[in-house]
């Protein structure tokens, strides 16, 4: 398992959202943003495109356990983001490999095997459905009959 814990959470200290806020001292309108720093995880503020921080939207600072929990959530999100990235990378490499010789044969073989398995399952399903139909017809489709059929099927499955 290749775990890359060294994600750059510092680079992403906030993200921007379009929202009209108060004017900055430069007379530019600020927009809403959310801080994801260690000190202020998840705290919203007004952001000037040129000067950055203008003013907190969430005046109240989080207490310790809220901060802790938000930082943990940030950690989880970072890890998941990394996992998604490596999975996407994996998919990319796999599809690239699929276009070259040997692995294509392997993939085809795997595909054949899966198709065969699917066919087997389909046959098993049809047989089961046919069996159920016969028993249902026999029992005349009554509710009681349905329960009996279900019991028979469940018992049949358990025996295997
Ligand atoms: Zn400004």
What is the band of 2 on the pLDDT scale with cuts at 50, 70, 90? very low
Tell me how far apart the alpha carbons of residues 44 and 2 are, in angstroms, rounded to a whole number.
Answer: 34
* Residues 69-108 pLDDT 10s: 999 999 999 999 999 999 999 888 888 776 665 666 667 7
pLDDT of residue 19: 59
Task: Please tell me the distance between residue 36's alpha carbon and the centre of ligand 1 in angstroms.
Answer: 21
CA–centroid distance, 70 to ligand 1, in Å, is 29
Structure token pair of residue 119: 């066919």
In the reported structure, the alpha carbon of residue 55 is separated from the centroid of ligand 1 by a whole-number distance in angstroms of: 11
| pLDDT more than 70, % of the chain | 78
pLDDT at 35 over 70: yes
Spatial distance between the Cα atoms of 106 and 17, rounded to a whole number of angstroms: 47
Same domain? For 91 and 130 the reply is: no
The answer to the question of residue 104 being in a domain is no
Using the 3D structure, point to which of 50, 67, 98 is the last residue of a domain. 98
CA 11 – ligand 1 centroid, Å: 21
Domain span including residue 135: 112-159
CA 34 to chain centre: 23
pLDDT at 5 over 50: no
Same-domain pairing of 93 and 116: no
Radius of gyration of the chain (CA): 30
Split into its structural domains, the chain has a count of 2
| Ligand 1 geometric centre to CA of 159 (Å) | 74
- Say whether both 62 and 117 belong to one domain: no
Please report the pLDDT score of residue 138 as a whole number.
65
Separation of 103 CA from ligand 1 center, angstroms?
A: 56
Buried-state track 32-62, b at ≥16 Cβ within 10 A, e below 16: bbbbbeeebbbbbbbbbeeeeebeebeeeeb
Domain check: are 94 and 129 in the same one? Answer: no
């Amino acid at each position: 398992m290749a775990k890359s814990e060294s994600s750059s959470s510092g680079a992403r200290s906030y993200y921007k959202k379009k929202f009209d806020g108060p004017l900055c001292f430069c007379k530019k309108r600020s927009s809403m943003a959310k801080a994801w720093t260690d000190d202020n995880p998840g705290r919203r503020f007004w952001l000037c495109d040129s000067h950055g921080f203008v003013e907190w939207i969430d005046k109240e600072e989080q207490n310790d356990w809220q901060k802790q929990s938000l930082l943990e959530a940030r950690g989880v999100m970072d890890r998941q983001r990394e996992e998604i990235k490596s999975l996407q990378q994996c998919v990319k490499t796999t599809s690239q490999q699929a276009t070259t010789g040997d692995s294509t044969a392997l993939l085809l073989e795997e595909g054949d095997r899966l198709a065969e398995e699917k066919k087997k399952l389909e046959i098993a399903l049809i047989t089961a459905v046919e069996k159920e139909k016969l028993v249902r017809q026999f029992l005349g489709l009554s509710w009681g009959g349905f329960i009996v059929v279900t019991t028979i099927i469940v018992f049949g499955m358990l025996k295997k």
